[in-house]
Structure 1
Amino acid sequence: MIILKVVLKIKGVDLMLKIGAHMGISEGLKNVPENSIKIGANSFQIFVHSPRTWSIKEPNNIDIDLFKEEVLKYKINKENILVHSGYLINLASPKEDTWNKSMKLMNEELRITNLLNIKYYNFHPGSHLGNGKEYGIDKISKSLDEILKNFENDDIFILLENVAPKGNNLGYSMKQLGEIINRCAFKNKLGITYDTCHGFDSGYDIRDKDDTLRLIDEINEYIGIEKLKMIHLNDSKFDLNAKKDRHEIIGKGFIGDDGFKNFLSFDEFLKIPLLLETPGDDSAHSKDISHIKNLLNLN
């Protein structure tokens, strides 16, 4: 058994690189930890069902126990594991049927996340569908409070992911994410995931040192840097401010190697899990992980 242990030195402190990718569950949940190790990872992200459907099937007790055993066997820290929500969830929807289904599905996904002993759950805040930013932010905040009442005593946290500013999406700026979180009664159980492609789509140019500092300053001002728990590390098929949400292989897009070198030179980002959602299968993700280590002079 090979366990990834790549150690960085940040400001004189030894720190293990936390890196992984979105992993498929078609071979079974229990295989995810081993498959992650095989691609050079020590972190991972999963869906707990098909993300493009409203239906969800709870894993049985045997599958749950085997998954948890494999996580322990491969020494993967629960702080470095993320469940991504289904894509259909929209807590800002003014359509009652969609909102009700979103609330039901999110509760079910969180319950399974908790059963798997996974701490972090990630979702896209939602779209107001033309009803306005204020309507959408208020509805998302109230919805999160209603959901979190059910998990108040569990070791589970909901992370809001920044999105591309397409259509009526909410959460594409750090200010918007902060507005949602700070209206919630359960803000102590909320945090964020920063997606590099979505941020690039929204005008955060991580190729530039000063603009990366602006990003850090905005996270601090509107949210609090301690609430940044995960990074979705994705290059972009389109240039800055494109609003397209098209991920690319690390170094092959418009952010490029120099952009990621700059971004990962800031310990605010490098010290937390870096999770790839780049195109391709496990083999492609293995190459991306190796490429990132090369950028950091760790291979």
Structure 2
Amino acid sequence: MIKIGAHMKISKGFNKVPSDTTNIGGNTFQIFTGSPRIWKVNPPKENDAEAFKTAMNEFNINFEDVLVHSSYLINLASPKDEIREKSIKAMIEEIKATDELGILHYNFHPGSHLGEGEEFGINKILEGLDIVFKEIQNTKVTILLENVAQKGSNIGYTMEQLGKIINKSQWKERLGITYDTCHGFDSNYDIRKKEEVQRLLDEIDKYIGLNKLKMIHLNDSKFDLGAAKDRHEFIGKGYIGREGFKTFFSFDEISKLPLILETPGDDPEHSQDIKIVKEIFKELGKL
């Protein structure tokens, strides 16, 4: 069975997301808990959370297959105390909101060290995660680190970097990863080739553990391999291409996971991308 969906809007209410997902041919999704461009987090009202859970059950969407994405402002690796403190506070509030909705996975970008160096950034991320987990340890939420594009002072563009964070954390059992295909392509993981997909899986297994790979952000790339531009494209329309994704999906370690689109456009475009992914699965005999 394919697990496929897209990043969905919550403007009509959390409870509308499951039906909107079904309408575009999906059975999983990703959401923000609020605006991703402001620090303030508004927790869902009890009635909204209950209505969301009812809709999830009504449309047979598994809580384990869906994802909350963090605010874009969060940067646990920042050398600026104020930014780190705001980031920690926002993460705690967003994760508590995630838990109230019954969602089990929360995704964030590890952060940028802004010139202070990888070791500095990783240490700050670990310090931040420690504070966050102490506040949310009674929730059921797993925090997923997303691989990022190799640009600027980003941390987390290799599996080794992500592994350093996870393995040094005392909360390792509650950490996992999301693999973003566009970000990985930006960082020279060429999933158009079987040997490169195998290299990726081998690195995840070596540095992190394949059991910690929980989600896939499914995006084609507007730019070629190693460009470090982080520009998502429709599935099959970019440099990874339809055949590239066919190679990627041929690995059961990938095809069994929830695949969440962050491609351009809205529901109509996501519906088309979902249709294309399902066609590829059929070609592979997986649907």
Question: Structure 1-normalised TM-score?
Answer: 0.94
Aligned partners of 1:139 and 1:99: how far apart in 2?
A: 8
Counterpart for residue 195 of structure 2: 210
Aligned partners of 2:140 and 2:38: how far apart in 1?
A: 27
Counterpart for residue 290 of structure 1: 275
1:1-299 matches, cutoff 5 A: 16-297=1-282
Secondary structure at 1:229 match in 2: strand
Please say if residues 96 and 139 of structure 2, whose CA atoms lie closer than 8 Å, have aligned partners that are also in contact. Answer: no
Secondary structure at 1:231 match in 2: strand
Shift of 1:154: 2.2
Shift of 1:152: 2.0
Aligned partners of 2:173 and 2:127: how far apart in 1?
A: 15
Shift of 1:108: 0.5
For residues 116-157 of structure 1, the C-alpha deviation after alignment (integer angstroms, 9 at most, x for no partner) is 010000000000011100000111012112211122232110
Aligned partners of 2:281 and 2:4: how far apart in 1?
A: 12
Aligned partners of 1:258 and 1:186: how far apart in 2?
A: 38
Q: Which amino acid aligns with 1:70?
A: A
Secondary structure at 1:67 match in 2: helix
Aligned partners of 2:109 and 2:262: how far apart in 1?
A: 14
Q: Which amino acid aligns with 1:131?
A: E
For residues 190-209 of structure 1, the C-alpha deviation after alignment (integer angstroms, 9 at most, x for no partner) is 00000000000000000011
Secondary structure at 1:87 match in 2: coil
What percent of counterpart residues are identical? 59
Please say if residues 150 and 186 of structure 2, whose CA atoms lie closer than 8 Å, have aligned partners that are also in contact. Answer: yes
Aligned partners of 1:59 and 1:148: how far apart in 2?
A: 21
Aligned residues: 284
C-alpha RMSD over aligned residues: 0.9
For residues 10-45 of structure 1, the C-alpha deviation after alignment (integer angstroms, 9 at most, x for no partner) is xxxxxx211110000011111000000000000000
Question: Structure 2-normalised TM-score?
Answer: 0.98
Listed as ranges, the gaps of 5+ residues in structure 1 are 1-15
